[in-house]
């Protein structure tokens, strides 16, 4: 078997094993959440017999390991269970499937992450190339200072600063990113501009600095010195000789940051009241809606593991020692 295929299969197996252990952690962590859904719905004055009957109806009286395997087997088949949010003390059941609740929210989250990626990836590549081209110049130091400053602040602080300057003092963008299925594409972009800018400022420093470091590291290579001796300009050396050979670490860090974009949107969605998976998960924790919390957490875990696998595979298939084994 070719070393690349073997290594990729090993990474895929490791990813599945990681997802299995992460699912156990998700289920166990939610089990340890304080409070009880049945008690929260029925109230403190409810009789213990009533609470017990309500828990039995929801299946919460079963042992934890049985409920875990039921949930895991359902998730493998694409069934994340039924939401608790439609149930009430009178016995009425207007609950919805977790998949149906998450699907529109997941589309909103992916739309926001895609907007941020379309801004952050080209911007970080351009800044990384320019700072490597003008290394140790005033421009280089200024860009590094600005990006390190934004990355040192938590997301909610960056979000509130953008709201202050672009929504309160200057009413350019709305402070709340409230969108719905009927919002047209242009209006959706306008309303999600500030959340997208927030995510961009948070992740652009990682990709920019990796691009800069990878290019600068290659500038000391013998073939770069030969290109200089042949009369090639600095711009030609970076774009034609250094950048193509720096794609492996750059692509890897981009994949890692794309994973963060999808998983790390929870705080940003809450700040801007954006109807994404992160906001749904926070609301579900507050209402003790266990199936929704588990479904959101599992989707975040699958997305993060999958994008990290893609980053690993990119690093593997661009490794010359694996592509051309002796």
pTM: 0.81
**Domain span at residue 251?**
101-286
- Could you report the per-residue pLDDT of 174-224, keeping only the tens digit for each? 888 888 888 888 889 999 999 999 998 888 888 888 888 888 887 777 877
What pLDDT sits at residue 92? 47
Q: What is the DSSP string of 220-289?
A: TSHHHHHHHHTT--HHHIIIIIIHHHTHHHHHHHHHHHHHHHHHTTHHHHHHTT--SHHHHHHHHHHTT-
Whether 279 and 285 have beta carbons less than 8 Å apart is answered as no
14 and 141 both lie in a single domain: no
179 and 107 both lie in a single domain: yes
Q: Which residue has the higher pLDDT, 170 or 228?
A: 170
Q: How far apart are CA 149 and CA 120, in angstroms?
A: 16
278 and 170 both lie in a single domain: yes
Q: How far apart are CA 313 and CA 5, in angstroms?
A: 10
243 and 315 both lie in a single domain: no
Q: What are phi and psi of 179, to 5 degrees?
A: -120, 160
Least confident range from 7-11, 25-29, 41-45, 314-318: namely 41-45
Chain-wide mean pLDDT for the chain? 81
As for how many domains the chain has, the answer is 2
**Residue 308 banded pLDDT, cuts 50, 70, 90:** confident
What pLDDT sits at residue 318? 66
279 and 326 both lie in a single domain: no
- Average pLDDT of span 126-134: 85
Residue 167 neighbours by CB distance under 10 Å = 18
79 and 27 both lie in a single domain: yes
86 and 142 both lie in a single domain: no
148 and 72 both lie in a single domain: no
135 and 277 both lie in a single domain: yes
1 and 70 both lie in a single domain: yes
> Contacts by 59-68 with C-beta closer than 8 Å and gap 24+?
64/27, 64/31, 67/27, 68/24, 68/27
90 and 123 both lie in a single domain: no
303 and 214 both lie in a single domain: no
Angle at 126 between CA 120 and CA 131, to 5 degrees: 120
Whether 198 and 164 have beta carbons less than 8 Å apart is answered as no
Least confident range from 28-32, 153-157, 267-271: namely 28-32
């Amino acid at each position: 078997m070719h070393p690349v295929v073997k290594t990729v299969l090993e990474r895929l197996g490791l990813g599945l094993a990681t997802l299995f252990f992460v699912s156990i952690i998700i289920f166990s962590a939610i089990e340890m959440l304080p409070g009880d859904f049945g008690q929260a719905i029925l109230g403190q004055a409810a009789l213990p017999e009533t609470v017990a009957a309500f828990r039995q109806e929801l299946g919460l009286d079963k042992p934890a390991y049985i409920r875990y395997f039921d949930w895991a087997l359902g998730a493998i088949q694409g069934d994340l269970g039924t939401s608790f949010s439609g149930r009430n003390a009178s016995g009425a059941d207007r609950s919805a499937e977790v998949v149906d609740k998450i699907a529109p929210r997941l589309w909103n989250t992916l739309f926001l992450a895609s907007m941020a990626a379309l801004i952050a990836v080209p911007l970080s590549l351009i800044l990384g190339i320019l700072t490597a081209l003008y290394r140790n110049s005033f421009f280089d130091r200024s860009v590094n200072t600005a990006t390190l400053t934004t990355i040192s602040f938590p997301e909610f602080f960056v979000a509130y600063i953008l709201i202050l300057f672009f929504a309160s003092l200057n009413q350019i963008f709305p402070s709340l990113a409230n969108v719905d299925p009927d919002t047209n594409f242009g209006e959706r972009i306008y309303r999600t501009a500030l959340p997208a800018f927030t995510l961009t400022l948070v992740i652009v420093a990682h990709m920019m600095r990796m691009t800069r470091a990878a290019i600068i590291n290659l500038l000391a290579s013998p073939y770069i010195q030969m290109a200089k001796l042949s009369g090639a300009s600095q711009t030609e050396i970076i774009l034609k000789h250094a950048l193509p050979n720096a794609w492996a670490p750059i692509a890897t860090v981009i994949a890692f940051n794309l994973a963060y974009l999808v998983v790390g949107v929870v705080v940003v969605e809450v700040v801007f009241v954006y109807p994404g998976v992160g906001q749904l998960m926070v609301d579900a924790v507050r209402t003790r809606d266990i199936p929704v919390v588990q479904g959101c957490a599992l989707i975040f875990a699958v997305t993060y593991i999958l994008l990290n696998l893609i980053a690993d595979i990119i690093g593997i298939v661009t490794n010359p020692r694996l592509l051309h084994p002796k």
